Structure 1
Amino acid sequence: MVWEEPRKFNPERFEGLEWEKHGLKLMPFGSGRRGCPGEVLVIRMLGLGLGSLIHEGTGLTLPRAHPLLVKCSTRPALVNLLSQI
């Protein structure tokens, strides 16, 4: 896809696009030779950070006045993928 004025910040250009149809996918760490070397570290730290937010009781942070509620659910796009394994 070729954008008009690609160097100009214009988030409106993404409105109304069908992401899969236009071949646009989120790749926050890139891929191949120029991929982010810290991708593995970030993925591990993300789990640690999320776990710290959910964890109750004493620790590195103060306990919360109101506990967080967590609901886990599968993404519809992954259901087909996981069923093939």
Structure 2
Amino acid sequence: MQRDPEMWEEPNRFEPERFEVTLEEKEGVKFIPFGMGRRACPGSTMGMRAIMLAMAGLIQCFEWERTGQEMVDMTPVVSMSMVKAQPLEAFCKPYGSMANLFSQL
């Protein structure tokens, strides 16, 4: 699909801008970086587990606070992935027990 001459002009030429999706486009998603089905990326499961482990470490080791008093804006943007309209800004500081551990690193 990524090099289908019926879908792309000059399919073997490197043009990353062809994958930009606008709100007016109704053709659907053309770019599937990790594939699907039998030929899907064999490392996708490992990647998801690595992300989960990293997130668990951040949640377990740090105390998180909002930068202001307003609630976090969770408004999504139309995109290939779940993207927030306003990026999350937060303060973090290590828990007391973790501060000792981090000072030894």
Shorter chain as denominator, the TM-score bin is: 0.3 to 0.5
Q: Which has the higher contact order (CA 8 A, sep 6+)?
A: 2
Higher relative strand content: 2
Q: TM-score, normalised by structure 1?
A: 0.48
- Larger Rg computed on CA atoms: 2
Q: TM-score, normalised by structure 2?
A: 0.42
Higher relative helix content: 1
